[in-house]
Amino acid sequence: MKTFRNFIGGEWVAPAGGEYFENRNPARWSEVIGRFPDSDARDVERAVRSAQRGFEIWSRTPAPIRGEVIRKAGDLLVARKKEIARAMTREMGKVLTEALGDVQEGIDTAYYAASEGRRLFGRTVPSELRNKWAMTYRRPIGVCGIITPFNFPMAIPTWKIFPALVCGNSVIFKPAEDVPHTATLLVEILLEAGLPPEVIQLVHGRGETAGRAIVEHPAIPVISFTGSTETGAIIGETCGRMHKRLSLEMGGKNAQIVMPDADLELALEGVLWGAFGTTGQRCTATSRLILHRQIHDKFVKMVCDAAEKLKLGDGLKPGTDVGPLINRAAREKVEYYVEVGRKEGAVLEIGGAVPKSAALKDGWFYKPTVFTGVKPGTRIEQEEIFGPVLSVIRVSSLEEAIKVNNGVRYGLSSSIYTRDLASAFKAMEALENGITYINAPTIGAEAHLPFGGVKQTGNGHREGGWQVYDFYTETKAIYADYSGKLQRAQIDTYE
């Protein structure tokens, strides 16, 4: 069995405590991918000292040159796209086409970030005083702690790491325990692209040990976290107390609305992709389907007929539509919520069980599941399940659909299918989400647009697009006075 290492202090090293955890294939649990370091606070301490040295070099490297390194990383991702996607499917379970898309998002982010190295704009603004210039520029901040979830093993780390690096920061990267191999490949690529070794540190391990040590370390001023709202709350408390800069991207309970005038075939494709793609384990997964009563029965039948035909299996096998859940705990959570749904009186239309087939028995598979008659306010309508479970809610108007969409504590993405321009624009304005799709599913963000959620999904920051560069830099204001005399702002101009 292959033993993997951390990357700390410019070299691949064993964890201080000598402990490791196993990474297994969720489609075939008996298959071990490798042993990865179960790091602790001592490893984080070493990583911080190294990242501080890395910051000294990197923050003084011109931003366009930093961007060039990220561009090369993008080229290497292109060259190794298939190999990385296969490794991702093997440890995460999503079907290969989706894993290729996940790597592609990293490539898109790399090229966007590379060009940002030549942009990182400040502003020059008029001063209110004579012979004085006023301007702003962006400064790198320092060591950034990057903590990521299992579901987008390449896209999410690159959304965070590439902008952090282009802005001149150094990085300590703690990937999710279930996807450490893809993270290792990403760090290899950054090094091959020419990133000075001490600028990146890879610390594998569990959240409560390695992750927590990063969040609590006083010399890491920036934390970027994507994961569950529960973990985000713990991290938020610590960062608030320590006055750290913190970006949180957390859970979702996203809904697709279908109006009576919608193209139902299109809406069907959307909901199948949104609800059962990545086995429902996307932050933007469609976990609620809000149907206008006029098309409710017809559309439910269309969804159930199509969902029952989806083929479960190993994501590496051609023809597979839905892979396994990530691990035992994830499947138990789905089973628990299906039981909750039954007890709450929702009608189980399809699924609601582990598949019986012998070929699937060694993986964490679960049948695509649809509940109808789900009432707003019930637990399966409110809580994030993170699996292939779709809750259908019947409504009588657009206003009611919007109210149902907004009646949860999360606010990541939403979608509406309608041919009516006025309905689309009303929804666009009224849906309380960071992202709204019109005639497209709740999933499908592009790397050059801001990504993030409102309410308890986020804390006001955005990943991706141009906005993330604000998170990874401090804006500094400069006043250059060449008048040769004391000029008093707010006083001398108005005397």
286 near 443, Cβ under 8 Å? yes
Asked if 262 contacts 289 with a C-beta cutoff of 8 angstroms, the reply is no
**Residue 149 touching ligand NAD (CB under 6 A):** yes
304 is annotated as an active-site residue: no
Using CB under 6 A, which residues numbered 379 to 408 contact ligand NAD? 384, 386
Is 283 annotated as catalytic?
yes
Comparison of 347 and 449: residue with beta carbon closer to ligand NAD: 449
**Residue whose CB is less far from ligand NAD, 6 or 372:** 6
Q: Residue 228 interacts with ligand NAD (CB under 6 A)?
A: yes
Interface with ligand NAD, residue 433, by CB under 6 A: no
Of 91, 98, 177, 249, which residue is the catalytic one? 249
For residues 170 to 209, the per-residue mask of contacts with ligand NAD, x marking binding by CB under 6 A and - elsewhere, is ----x-xx----------------------------xxx-
Q: Cβ-count burial of 222 within 10 angstroms (0-12 exposed, 13-18 middle, 19+ buried)?
A: buried
| Selected binder of ligand NAD within 252, 270, 277, 411 (CB under 6 A) | 252
Instruction: Please identify the residue of the shown chain whose CB is closest to the bound ligand NAD.
Output: 207
When asked if residue 227 is in the footprint of ligand NAD (CB under 6 A), the reply is: yes
144 binds ligand NAD (CB under 6 A): no
Residue 249 touching ligand NAD (CB under 6 A): yes
* Stretch of 26-34, 72-80, 225-233, 262-270 lying at the interface with ligand NAD (CB under 6 A): 225-233
Report the half-sphere exposure of 110 (CA within 13 A, side-chain side): 23
Q: Which of these segments, 116-124, 246-254, 264-272, 351-359, binds ligand NAD (CB under 6 A)?
A: 246-254
The residue count for binding ligand NAD (CB under 6 A) is 32
Sheet order of strands, 473-481 included: 124-125, 132-140, 473-481
Phi and psi based region of residue 296 (left: phi greater than 0; alpha: psi -120 to 50; beta: remaining): alpha
Member of 67, 106, 211, 270 binding ligand NAD (CB under 6 A): 211
Under rule CB under 6 A, residue 115 binds ligand NAD? no
CB of 386 to ligand NAD, least distance (A): 6
- Please identify every residue annotated as catalytic: 249, 283
The footprint of ligand NAD (CB under 6 A) covers 147-152, 156, 174, 176-177, 206-208, 211-212, 215, 226-228, 231, 234-235, 249-252, 283, 384, 386, 412, 453, 457
